[in-house]
Amino acid sequence: MIATRTPRALPRHLKRAALAMTCLAAALALAFALMRLFGLEVTWPLRVLVSYTPYVTAAALLPALAALALRHWRLAVAALVAPLVLTVLIAPRALAGDQPDARGPEITTATVNLYYGHADAAAVVALADEYQVDVLSIQELTDEAVTALDAAGIAARFPYREITPGIDASGTGVYSRFPLTRNTSLEFDTHFMMTGVTIAIPGAAPVELLATHPLAPYEAARVGDWLSDLARLPRATPEGAVRILAGDFNATLDHAAMRDIIDSGYADAADAVGSGLTGTWQPHPGDRASVRGLVPPRVALDHVLVDERVAVRAVAFDDLPGGDHRPVIAALTLPAA
């Protein structure tokens, strides 16, 4: 008869240390959950960290699992509070929501960030053709990128344009299949130039669109400018013009300032169709912030915000050679004129 050995329990001092570390991890997870729940990201590190809420939600399960392994049942139950709160906050983004009864023309809008103008211009034109894009919002548009886009034949797809090229990341532009005029009432003075237009689409009332690109909070000294840019973005006008904001917001749906914009009467297109957890930005592999192109992971900084009267039929994401952002393509149905 073969004797079986029972697993040896952890020495008492190691178990106490493990419990202490588990309690600390659970407390930190709960503090993060409360910070996200009440929009309390009041310091620069927290404003950056809150971008990674979906990943923190998964990591917040670890203290509960550790407590179960240590057979500390009360701690396990308490440690589940944080991941449950965070899951309730982010899970709706994976579920398609109700759509308004829009019966106007169907258009496709896309937003593309060119990474200081270095992204492949031919790939941008090919993407616009593949998805039959009608209106294209471009960020980080330089004079060199404008020339490259023209050489790639962008005018064949988009005969109309309003562009504000700049240096490095400061320029934006809107390319359109429909006639458009500059709408400076949407624009405001900032570190980056944002191009506002009014688009004449047959069968719909004029649509206002802003190629959106607030300054990034890449260091503590820039947080005030970032918050100022977000606060000054045009709010929705539910009783007025149909308005779309499309671009690199340098903010996720977990930022309180971003939720304030949406609450004015917008819907995030990706969120509306259950794709709101899809990440769109990751440091370029050549950037110092990137570790082998894997760390940090992707976060959702690029958005197409649409008037709540606009129905979102589908949203797609693609890759752009030479870029650090994924284009977001939204198929929309506008309200009838």
Q: Is the Cα torsion angle 78, 83, 85, 88 positive or negative in sign?
A: negative
Mean pLDDT score of the chain: 94
Token digits of residue 161:
């344009």
| Average pLDDT score over residue span 47-59 | 97
The pLDDT of residue 296 is 83
Residue ranges covered by each domain of the chain: 12-93, 99-333
C-alpha to C-alpha distances, 141 to 2, 192, 295, 317, nearest whole angstrom = 74, 11, 26, 20
| Average pLDDT score over residue span 89-118 | 97
The pLDDT of residue 157 is 97
Task: Give domain 99-333's CATH architecture.
Answer: 4-Layer Sandwich (3.60)
**Residue 88 pLDDT exceeds 90:** yes
The pLDDT of residue 15 is 81
Q: Give the angle subtended at the CA of 246 by the CAs of 262 and 54, to the nearest 5°.
A: 60
Stated as kind and residue range, the H or E segment containing 64 is helix 61-69
> From the centroid of its chain, how far is CA 13?
45
Residue 10 and residue 18 in contact, taking contact as beta carbons nearer than 8 Å: yes
The pLDDT of residue 1 is 52
In tens, the pLDDT along 159-213 reads: 999 999 999 999 999 999 999 999 999 999 888 999 999 999 999 999 999 999 9
The pLDDT of residue 2 is 57
Alpha-carbon Rg of the chain, whole angstroms?
A: 23
Please measure the distance between the N-terminal and C-terminal CA atoms of the chain and give it in whole angstroms.
Answer: 86
Q: Which residues pair with 111 in a beta bridge?
A: 137, 328
pTM over 0.85: yes
Amino acid 62 reads L
Residue 140 and residue 115 in contact, taking contact as beta carbons nearer than 8 Å: yes
Strands 207-212 vs 180-182: parallel, antiparallel or unpaired: unpaired
Stated as kind and residue range, the H or E segment containing 181 is strand 180-182
C-alpha to C-alpha distances, 262 to 137, 186, 198, nearest whole angstrom = 19, 16, 20
- Say which range, 10-14, 53-57, 71-75, 217-221, has the weakest mean pLDDT: 10-14
The conformation of residue 222, written as its DSSP 8-state character, comes to G
Question: What pLDDT band is residue 290 in, cutting at 50, 70 and 90?
Answer: low
Residue 247 and residue 238 in contact, taking contact as beta carbons nearer than 8 Å: no
Residue 57 and residue 86 in contact, taking contact as beta carbons nearer than 8 Å: yes
Q: Is 171 helix (H, G, I), strand (E, B) or coil?
A: coil
**Residue 35 pLDDT exceeds 60:** yes
**Residue 12 pLDDT exceeds 90:** no
The pLDDT of residue 136 is 98
Phi/psi at 71 (nearest 5 deg)? 60, 40
Question: What pLDDT band is residue 289 in, cutting at 50, 70 and 90?
Answer: low
Of the candidates 284, 262, 283, the one whose C-alpha atom is nearest the C-alpha of residue 271 is 262
Of the candidates 219, 202, 145, the one whose C-alpha atom is nearest the C-alpha of residue 175 is 145
Question: What pLDDT band is residue 7 in, cutting at 50, 70 and 90?
Answer: low
